[in-house]
Amino acid sequence: MNDHIRNFCIIAHIDHGKSTLADRMLQMTGTISEREMTDQVLDSMDLEREKGVTIKASAVRMNYIAKDGKQYELNLIDTPGHVDFNYEVSRALEACEGALLVVDATQGIEAQTLANLYLALESNLVIIPVINKIDLNSARPDEVSDDLTNLLGTPGDQIVRISAKEGLNIDQVLDAIINRIPPPGGQGDEALKALIFDSHYDSYKGVIAYIRVFDGSIKTNSMLRLMATHTELKPVEIGFFGPDLRPVSELFPGDVGYVATGLKTVSECRVGDTITLVSNPANRPMPGYRKVKPMVFAGIYPVDGDDYSDLKDALEKLQLNDASLIYDPETSQALNFGFRCGFLGLFHMEIIQERLEREYDLNIIVTAPSVEYEIVLVSGETVHIDSPARFPGEEQIAEIREPWMKVQIFTPTEFYGTVMELATKRRGIFLSQEYPAPNRVQLSYDIPLSEIIIDFFDDLKSRTKGYASLDYQFADYRPDELVKLEVLVNDDPVDALAAIVHKKDAYHKGQRLVTKLKAIIPRQLFEVAVQASASGRVISRATVKALRKDVLAKCYGGDITRKRKLLEKQKKGKRRMKMVGSVEIPQDAFMAILRLGEE
């Protein structure tokens, strides 16, 4: 009965052209008019457009008249490629029967190509490999095609070669979707089962649940129940994505669409929950999703204490659209009142920071990211601490455990040596190597997460001329010799500058940190002493000399405005700094520990 429906997502490594392929399909099917068309039209957030990166998955329905003359309903979900947003991919997969696996013809298979492919295979999806960017001179489609055949067993003639940018062979992609991906199945007369695979918050319509109907159907006047939270509701509106919200009167089995719930909090309407009918409930919910856990933690503080409540409101609003962001109030001696926030990774953190600054116009200090440590106390109790500032005293600690990750690094074989060296330097333990394609090696390691969040990725990229890619998953907690590196400014410890480091690194990291801070902290009206210490021992100290000269010497023929503007600018810069005691510390200082790179 729903033979005309195809549900699929587009998955790939970052930047391989998913969103651009979506553009072409939207155009060919006339879903978006030429007038409304822009590059990566589904990347609708400002930050996505600016960075040219998809952050949030988006769904859209297309109508397509195939070569056989029949009209099909194609539900497309474009997914992000960045490893931090991997959970968006897993969610989208559950709503689909097939996946387009896009591979850049110049880059070939990369880490998230594999990671996302395995996720799709776990969900039993039909995979359609697509080689993109064949318009580029450096494209090597034959090679990439062979690699894909080796990986998937798909014969070369079934691998579609396209240029999403030039709109080449997009019809072949559409035909493959129709011919190879099965229709969704599901029964209209069974009890309603609809999976919530994503959501966003709309200030008029409340939480909009993105759903995939598996069995049964939803009408505008159906009384609905969310099976996990037992929330009952009558939808404000139901409909499909066009890609904007398009209301309909009924959603059928196999459909992808939305339910505007009218609910005001995301906790009442969780992604992964199953929607059913109050009148005829399903026996069991859909399997749902594993809860995503934040991996990286950092403090966010307003530079000006008066902005605290604005910051709180902003975090609340961001969380409505991004349940993976968590935050709790936190107090720092140095920075006063703020929030401890949990993120999926550094990129996620950067995005939240930028959104707070731009969309909410907040002047904030973000402290260096930390992982969550598991600490066994002398008392025998185990505690979880995600902030160096809150570490118990050394005498109370029996053992410190830190999170380790399973890491896969994908690289051309020529960089084997330098990648090995990097992993070893970062306390990595080599596990295995595989050669998924000639000249390509996948190296697997266990590496502590704390080593990965300190410019591991940048280091990897620079060592491999940008060719290596990286994927990782949580492995387990392991004990190691870790110490707290404290920073004292004019003899007062600044909790927000503290870091947890490996004992063997404490000395040189302490020294480099002090050197860096000396360079970052501007000269003030008095001398500022900066010290690093660990286990009660001072490792390094430096002095920021008192400022002696800061004046505009000359007034060029009465140019007073220039003078005033310069002073205003200087004043603004000063305002962005945080007063810690009587010392002004710029935002950069709190991130210094991340940038101790060899110089």
Ligand X SMILES: Nc1nc2c(ncn2[C@@H]2O[C@H](COP(=O)(O)OP(=O)(O)OP(=O)(O)O)[C@@H](O)[C@H]2O)c(=O)[nH]1
**Residues at the site binding ligand X, with contacts judged by CB under 6 A:** 12, 14-20, 40, 52-54, 80-81, 132-133, 135-136, 163-165
Asked whether the beta carbons of 243 and 59 are under 8 A apart, the reply is: yes
Q: Around Cβ 49, how many Cβ atoms within 10 Å?
A: 14
Output the CA torsion 579→349→591→358 (10° steps): -50
Closer residue to ligand X, CB minimum distance, 86 or 163: 163
* Residue 549 interacts with, from Mg ion, other proteins, ligand X, none (CB under 5-8 Å by kind): other proteins
Single out the residue of 1, 278, 519, 547 in contact with other proteins (rule: CB under 8 A). 547
**Minimum distance, C-beta of residue 115 to ligand X, in the bound complex (Å):** 12
User: What would the two tokens of residue 201 be?
Assistant: 């918050």
**Minimum distance, C-beta of residue 527 to other proteins, in the bound complex (Å):** 12
Kindly report the backbone phi and psi dihedral angles of residue 381, in degrees, each rounded to the nearest multiple of 5, phi listed first: -75, 150
Closer residue to ligand X, CB minimum distance, 139 or 539: 139
C-alpha radius of gyration, the chain, whole number: 27
Closer residue to ligand X, CB minimum distance, 102 or 368: 102
Single out the residue of 567, 581, 584, 586 in contact with other proteins (rule: CB under 8 A). 567
* Residue 140 interacts with, from other proteins, Mg ion, ligand X, none (CB under 5-8 Å by kind): none
Closer residue to other proteins, CB minimum distance, 230 or 571: 571
Single out the residue of 10, 11, 14, 19 in contact with Mg ion (rule: CB under 5 A). 19
Q: Is 361 one of the binding residues for other proteins (CB under 8 A)?
A: no
Look up residue 462 and give its DSSP letter. H
* Residue 574 interacts with, from Mg ion, ligand X, other proteins, none (CB under 5-8 Å by kind): other proteins
Q: Is 543 one of the binding residues for other proteins (CB under 8 A)?
A: no
Q: ω before 436 within 30° of 0 (cis)?
A: no
Q: Is 568 one of the binding residues for other proteins (CB under 8 A)?
A: yes
Alpha helices (runs of H) in 409-478, residue ranges in sequence order: 416-425, 449-452, 456-463
Closer residue to Mg ion, CB minimum distance, 62 or 447: 62
Size, binding site for other proteins by CB under 8 A: 25
Closer residue to ligand X, CB minimum distance, 52 or 247: 52
Q: Is 398 one of the binding residues for other proteins (CB under 8 A)?
A: no
Q: Is 531 one of the binding residues for Mg ion (CB under 5 A)?
A: no
Output the CA torsion 162→166→171→172 (10° steps): -10
Q: Which amino acid is at 448?
A: P
Closer residue to other proteins, CB minimum distance, 204 or 556: 556
Look up residue 85 and give its DSSP letter. G
Single out the residue of 244, 432, 557, 599 in contact with other proteins (rule: CB under 8 A). 557
User: What would the two tokens of residue 522 be?
Assistant: 């501007």
Q: Show Cβ contacts of residue 319 under 8 Å, excluding neighbours closer than 6 positions.
A: 266, 325, 326, 327
Query: Per-residue string for binding with other proteins, 490-529, x by CB under 8 A?
Result: -----------------------------------x----
**Whose CA is closest to 244, among 258, 234, 264?**
258
Q: Show Cβ contacts of residue 514 under 8 Å, excluding neighbours closer than 6 positions.
A: 487, 530, 531, 532, 539, 540, 541, 542
User: What would the two tokens of residue 350 be?
Assistant: 């950067």
Q: Is 560 one of the binding residues for other proteins (CB under 8 A)?
A: yes
Asked whether the beta carbons of 377 and 387 are under 8 A apart, the reply is: no
Q: Positive or negative CA dihedral for 392, 394, 397, 401? A: positive
CA distance 503 to 509: 10
Task: Please state the length of the chain.
Answer: 599
Closer residue to ligand X, CB minimum distance, 40 or 217: 40
Asked whether the beta carbons of 56 and 87 are under 8 A apart, the reply is: no
**Minimum distance, C-beta of residue 54 to Mg ion, in the bound complex (Å):** 3
Q: Is 571 one of the binding residues for other proteins (CB under 8 A)?
A: yes
* Residue 319 interacts with, from ligand X, other proteins, Mg ion, none (CB under 5-8 Å by kind): none
| Beta strands, E only, 98-183 | 98-104, 126-132, 160-161
Size, binding site for Mg ion by CB under 5 A: 3
Closer residue to Mg ion, CB minimum distance, 101 or 419: 101
Report the Cα–Cα distance between both ends of the chain, in Å, rounded: 65
**Minimum distance, C-beta of residue 216 to Mg ion, in the bound complex (Å):** 33
Q: Which amino acid is at 155?
A: P
CA distance 111 to 443: 10
* Residue 75 interacts with, from Mg ion, ligand X, other proteins, none (CB under 5-8 Å by kind): none
Q: Is 563 one of the binding residues for other proteins (CB under 8 A)?
A: yes
Q: Which residue is nearest to ligand X (CB)?
A: 81
**Minimum distance, C-beta of residue 569 to other proteins, in the bound complex (Å):** 9
Closer residue to ligand X, CB minimum distance, 350 or 505: 350
CA distance 509 to 58: 43
**Minimum distance, C-beta of residue 585 to ligand X, in the bound complex (Å):** 34
Q: Is 54 one of the binding residues for Mg ion (CB under 5 A)?
A: yes
Single out the residue of 6, 13, 16, 18 in contact with Mg ion (rule: CB under 5 A). 18
Closer residue to other proteins, CB minimum distance, 37 or 552: 552
Q: Is 549 one of the binding residues for other proteins (CB under 8 A)?
A: yes
Strands 71-78 and 256-260: unpaired
**Minimum distance, C-beta of residue 517 to other proteins, in the bound complex (Å):** 19
Q: Which amino acid is at 461?
A: K
User: What would the two tokens of residue 598 be?
Assistant: 């060899």
Closer residue to ligand X, CB minimum distance, 60 or 534: 60
Helix then strand then coil, in percent of the chain rounded to 5, is: 30, 35, 35
- Interaction site with Mg ion (CB under 5 A): 18-19, 54
